[in-house]
């Protein structure tokens, strides 16, 4: 009942009908026009023009094929959908302003390969993995950092709240989803108390992810002295830029402590309410030098939402802590933006797979792969690497789950092992390999995370927490059902056709 009331009072109740109305009117006008025989050649010509345009774009082949088939088979629907979902060209302001903010942040980081000399013996090949982030993206590698891995939202929550209470100077928070409930109430009260103590508190939320949050709630936070900003406000209009969402989950406290991972500020993430059975998530907390990279990530978004014409002394936030010696690990926090044509999350994942020697274990809610990921996983398994993937048994979205299942057979045939987590929904986004390297972050193995969303993660080596990530994965397997080739083949023809059709349009999910 509470979720129904939220929906009724949210912007979504007004925006969705208006968008659907626009789409319906557009399609109806297009369809009625085609009823006149003299218009049909024009529609066909337009469809072929779109086809030629798509063929000449620098996209992966499967992406092109999906849109070409849709547009030539159903010109009216296909062209409409492509204009909304297929054209990844972003609005000029979003591109220019986020690019300018990124350039400003680059000045605050000093990427160096010096620490890579510590990668000796059997770990020398990992220099290539870290070097990608250094050379191509400008992400430094850090030492003097401590790490703690959280195997669930309820394990994360008390530590997160306690660290917020310790803040003395500033708290930066950035989430994709914020939803009313016990967790948000507790966090909000701490933030209000901290503001009274003179702590600067900044909250950035994605407007689509937080569409069910009443505006009065956000105004209450603002009136308490918290800086509140929305990213990419949703509007009741057919617009491709609505696809570009801030999917990051960052919390930075005094440049000393940083959190990221899959957990959002909503009760289901900490299992205080049940939506899809037990919610299996993960997060990571860093303390020490590497947090500066996370602070800079946040300040890039902060600069964008403020407006780049508002100047902030960002170096004032670079607080140092000599009391943190670190756990001996190397850390490379990274972020990904769809505005630079550099697919950081995808390449980080591909690098992990290609450098796996004994095993690579992957947690993901959505197994919606492009050709590069499919080929990389298959090749690793064929090379004798123990490749295992954990996905939900109870999905949050029916269609995305059917697309996930459409990849089972081709992966299983190559030797990849796939497990469905029977207690509920897997929302963790972890990669761990050979007890020596891991990524905990926000990026799913799907089209939207790789190409459309703003994402972040932590690449790590040499920390004891890597063993905890592997142990957590193995513990989850004990509560999972392994999918066999026979089960993947034994699917009725109707479901096969549905999965094939959905997989063709996987970039929409």
Q: What is the pLDDT of residues 157-188, one digit of tens each?
A: 999 999 999 999 999 999 999 999 999 999 99
Count Cβ atoms below 10 Å from residue 146 Cβ, excluding itself. 19
CA–CA distance from 319 to each of 222, 374, 388 (Å)? 26, 43, 41
Task: Quote the pLDDT of residue 23.
Answer: 58
Are 274 and 352 found together in one domain?
A: no
Which structural domain range is residue 217 located in?
92-113+144-328
Task: Quote the pLDDT of residue 29.
Answer: 60
Task: Quote the pLDDT of residue 8.
Answer: 47
Task: Quote the pLDDT of residue 32.
Answer: 59
Q: Which among 328, 358, 387 is the end of a domain?
A: 328
Are 198 and 311 found together in one domain?
A: yes
262 located within any domain: yes
Q: In sequence order, what are the beta bridge partners of 171?
A: 201, 253
Are 271 and 246 found together in one domain?
A: yes
Are 279 and 303 found together in one domain?
A: yes
C-beta separation of 292 from 314 below 8 A: no
User: The CATH number of the domain where 502 resides is what?
Assistant: 3.30.870.10
Nearest alpha-carbon partner for 290 in 318, 314, 315, 316: 318
Task: Quote the pLDDT of residue 363.
Answer: 98
75 located within any domain: yes
Are 430 and 289 found together in one domain?
A: no
Strands (E), 109-213: 145-150, 170-175, 200-206
Tell me how far the alpha carbon of residue 500 is from its chain's centroid. Answer: 25
Task: Quote the pLDDT of residue 14.
Answer: 54
Are 82 and 104 found together in one domain?
A: no
Are 501 and 355 found together in one domain?
A: yes
Are 284 and 361 found together in one domain?
A: no
Are 59 and 102 found together in one domain?
A: no
DSSP string, 49-60: HHHHHHHTSS--
- The structural domain count of the chain equals 3
383 located within any domain: yes
Below-70 pLDDT ranges, the chain: 1-39, 84-91, 235-242, 504-509
Count Cβ atoms below 10 Å from residue 51 Cβ, excluding itself. 18
Cα dihedral 82/86/87/92 (nearest 10)? 120
99 located within any domain: yes
Report the SS3 class of residue 133: helix
Task: Quote the pLDDT of residue 68.
Answer: 83
126 located within any domain: no
Task: Quote the pLDDT of residue 44.
Answer: 81
Are 320 and 173 found together in one domain?
A: yes
Task: Quote the pLDDT of residue 321.
Answer: 92
Are 256 and 399 found together in one domain?
A: no
Task: Quote the pLDDT of residue 230.
Answer: 93
317 located within any domain: yes
């Amino acid at each position: 009942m509470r979720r129904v009331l939220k929906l009724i009072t949210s912007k979504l109740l007004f925006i969705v009908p208006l968008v659907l109305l626009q789409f319906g009117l557009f399609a109806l006008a297009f369809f009625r026009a085609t009823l006149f025989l003299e218009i049909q050649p024009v529609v066909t010509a337009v469809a072929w023009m779109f086809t030629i345009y798509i063929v000449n774009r620098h996209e992966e082949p499967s992406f092109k094929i999906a849109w070409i088939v849709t547009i030539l088979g159903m010109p009216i629907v296909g062209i409409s959908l492509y204009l909304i979902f297929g054209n990844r060209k972003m609005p000029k302001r979003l591109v220019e302003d986020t690019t300018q903010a990124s350039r400003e942040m680059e000045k605050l980081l000093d990427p160096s390969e010096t620490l890579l000399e510590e990668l000796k013996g059997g770990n020398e090949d990992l220099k290539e993995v870290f070097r990608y982030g250094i050379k191509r993206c400008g992400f430094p590698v850090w030492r003097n950092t401590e790490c703690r891995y959280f195997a669930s939202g309820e394990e994360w929550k008390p530590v997160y709240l306690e660290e917020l209470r310790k803040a003395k100077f500033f708290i930066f928070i950035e989430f994709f989803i914020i939803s009313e409930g016990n967790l948000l109430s507790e966090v909000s009260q701490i933030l209000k108390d901290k503001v009274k103590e003179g702590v600067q508190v900044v909250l950035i939320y994605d407007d689509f992810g937080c569409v069910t949050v009443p505006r009065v709630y956000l105004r209450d936070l603002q009136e308490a002295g918290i800086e509140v900003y929305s990213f990419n406000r949703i509007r009741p209009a057919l617009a491709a830029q609505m696809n570009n969402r801030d999917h990051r989950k960052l919390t930075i406290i005094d440049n000393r402590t940083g959190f990221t991972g899959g957990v959002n500020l909503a009760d289901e993430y900490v299992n205080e309410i049940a939506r899809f059975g037990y919610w299996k998530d993960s997060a990571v907390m860093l303390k020490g030098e590497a947090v500066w990279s996370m602070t800079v990530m946040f300040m890039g978004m902060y600069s964008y939402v403020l407006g780049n014409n508002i100047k902030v002394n960002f170096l004032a936030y670079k607080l140092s802590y000599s009391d943190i010696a670190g756990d001996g690990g190397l850390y490379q926090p990274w972020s990904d933006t769809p505005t630079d044509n550099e697919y950081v999350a995808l390449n980080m994942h591909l690098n992990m797979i290609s450098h796996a020697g004994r095993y690579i274990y992957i947690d993901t809610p959505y197994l919606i792969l492009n050709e590069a990921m499919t080929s990389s996983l298959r090749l690793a398994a064929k090379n004798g690497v123990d490749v295992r993937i954990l996905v939900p048994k109870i999905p949050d979205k029916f269609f995305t789950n059917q697309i996930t299942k459409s990849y089972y057979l081709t992966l299983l045939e190559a030797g990849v092992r796939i497990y469905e987590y029977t207690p509920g929904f897997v929302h963790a986004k972890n990669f761990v390999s050979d007890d020596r390297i891991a990524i905990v972050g926000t990026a799913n193995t799907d089209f939207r995370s790789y190409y459309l969303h703003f994402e972040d993660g932590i690449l790590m080596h040499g920390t004891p927490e890597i063993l905890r990530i592997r142990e957590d994965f193995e513990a989850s397997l004990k509560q999972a059902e392994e999918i066999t080739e026979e089960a993947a083949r034994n699917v009725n023809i109707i479901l096969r056709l549905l999965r094939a059709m959905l997989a063709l349009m996987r970039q929409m999910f």
